[in-house]
Amino acid sequence: MNTYDVIIAGYGPTGSTLAGLLGHAGHRVLAIDRDADVYQLPRAVHFDAAVMRIFQTMGLVDALLPHTRAIAACEFWTAERQVLLHVPMDQPTEQGWRSDYLFHQPSLEKVLRESAGRAESVEERLCTELLDYREDADGVEVELRPHGGEVERVRARWLVGCDGANSVVRGRAGLDLEDLIFDEPWVVVDIRGGEEIRNVVLQYCDPARPTTVVAGAHDMQRFEFMLLPGEKGEEMVRPERLRELMAPWVDPDRVEIVRAAEYRFHALVARGWRRGRVLLAGDAAHQTPPFLGQGMCAGIRDAHNLSWKLDRVLRSTSDPAILDSYGSERAPNVRTFIEGAVAAGRVVCTQDPELARQRDESLLAARERGETPPGLVGQPPLGDGLFQGAEGERHALVASLAPQPWLKVDGVEKLLDDFTGPGFRLVLREGAPEAKARQALERLEGHAVSWPDPTFFEEHGIHAFLIRPDHAVFGVARAPEQVAPLLEDALARLA
């Protein structure tokens, strides 16, 4: 029977990111998908700076940029087309990348799969469905069926269910989903041609027809129309109804409809992300309404968080117990994004004209006062896990995303991660680590770099910080003599 280190069930954006990260670390990965190719119709259209930084780690930025589009802002409009909210999406960020990108999902998935496929230790099996699995003391035995073929059994030390919203792995593992209470039917329409609306993501808060309009990459344009009570999805995706829905925005005679489909937008998060040797990632573990454009982003972050921990466990440099931190860290982060999306969705989805009038009044007044728009959550920190200190007593930087400054070394200017490569990174205000710290850093397989601009360190009252492979801050040293203990603490927690 064929044996792998990890079987990844589901080769969508989450599964292919995980396969690439594990495969390029040399682990034997079997990635299976029941479909013959990537899903050809875009669902996700947006990712953020932190996800671009993960693609940078994977060496994929140049391959991906042609499939992205720079967008200026997200705006919420009243029914009268007055701007209720304006959120810039073209800002530089501490992550080293602009805040937001629009992209073409099938092209991105192709790039991710091609990258994973370049790792010799990754085997792909398409047109192959996972039917079931059985766990024993040494691993997991997985039952597969190639289309039109016989049932086969393969083994792995770990199984990761990246098999999407209706995950078979989740069902077999008995891991259930908590409902954060959002369930709205929408029709999603992708078109080519016609006039471009504006270089913004538009949430049109008309109680008569809440609508989202996105000018996407590859000259595509996305409309999302909320269905009203009594409307049926199958009826609303008929060409004549789509023409009516699009007419306020484009000349329906001048556009090509690429696809139209009904989606129910949900807010769900798994109560458990691991059972024994089985883990969940991506939509298998959580689903969000798309109002912040964060569903796929969360799956990519899952894969990044899980990959370095699995890598350590597979190389026997850490105990499998560290895998418990995967769900405990990821779940609160995902939940904050989902709650933000639900809050933004409630603003958009209001169908009662009187409630809509009150909403408009209060949002316009909040805008005058310069308040943060509802739903905007920034980059929430990770939950309790492999970090310095106890939760509640930590330095504010711990468990948040580390900044990625531009650094100049020997006259060459690059982003921090491009100097250091992946792994643990110790960033010092000045100088190099002393001998004891250097030894601990070696055992951590980490790199040290100094960031000569004192501003960040002074602002946070620190001398150094330690970045984990997934770009989260592990911990900080307030003074030079605390650097070695910081690194020893990381080694102890990872043992």
Ligand X SMILES: Cc1cc2nc3c(=O)[nH]c(=O)nc-3n(C[C@H](O)[C@H](O)[C@H](O)COP(=O)(O)OP(=O)(O)OC[C@H]3O[C@@H](n4cnc5c(N)ncnc54)[C@H](O)[C@@H]3O)c2cc1C
Asked if residue 283 binds ligand X (CB under 6 A), the reply is yes
Tokens of 355: 């409630």
Among 160, 188, 462, 490, binds ligand X (CB under 6 A): 188
Please report, for residues 309, 416, 429, 471, the alpha-carbon distance to residue 56 in angstroms, rounded to integers and kept in the order given: 19, 11, 24, 12
Does the protein bind ligand X through residue 299 (CB under 6 A)? yes
**Quick one: 33 or 329, whose CB is closer to ligand X?**
33
Number of residues that bind ligand X (CB under 6 A): 34
Closest alpha carbon to 402 in 385, 384, 387: 387
Nearest to 6 by CA among 146, 151, 169, 171: 169
User: Within 13 Å of residue 52, how many CA atoms lie on the same side as its CB?
Assistant: 26
Q: Helix or strand or coil: residue 326?
A: helix
What residues between 304 and 363 interact with ligand X by CB under 6 A?
none
Q: Which residues contact 137 (CB under 8 A, 6 or more apart)?
A: none
Considering the complex, state which of residue 164 and residue 422 has its C-beta at the smaller distance from ligand X.
Answer: 164
The contact pattern for ligand X, residues 151-180, with x = CB under 6 A and - = no contact, is: -----------xxx---x------------
List residues bridging with 68 in a β-sheet: 103
Residues paired with residue 144 on neighbouring β-strands, in sequence order: 130, 152
- The footprint of ligand X on residues 243-272 (CB under 6 A) is 263
Rg (CA), the chain: 23
Instruction: Determine the Cα–Cα distance for residues 55 and 405; give it in Å rounded to an integer.
Output: 17
**Binding residue for ligand X (CB under 6 A) from 4, 6, 14, 363?**
14
The reply on whether position 76 binds ligand X by CB under 6 A is: no
| Residues facing residue 257 across a β-bridge | 191
> Which of 294, 305, 333, 420 is close enough to bind ligand X by CB under 6 A?
294
Tell me whether residue 334 or residue 486 sits nearer to ligand X (CB atom): 334
Neighbours of 316 (CB within 10 A): 8
129 is an interface residue for ligand X by CB under 6 A: yes
Find the shortest distance in angstroms from Cβ 474 to ligand X. 26
Instruction: Kindly state whether residue 293 participates in binding ligand X, applying the rule CB under 6 A.
Output: yes
Q: Does 407 bind ligand X (CB under 6 A)?
A: no
First to last CA, the chain: 32
Question: Which of these segments, 36-44, 151-159, 310-318, 368-376, binds ligand X (CB under 6 A)?
Answer: 36-44
Is the Cβ of residue 281 or residue 444 nearer to ligand X in the bound state? 281
Q: Is 123 in the site for ligand X (CB under 6 A)?
A: no
CB 44 → ligand X: shortest distance, Å? Answer: 3
Q: Are the CB atoms for 186 and 351 separated by under 8 Å?
A: no
Q: Which residues bind ligand X (CB under 6 A)?
A: 9-15, 32-35, 39, 43-47, 129-130, 162-164, 168, 188, 263, 282-283, 290, 293-297, 299
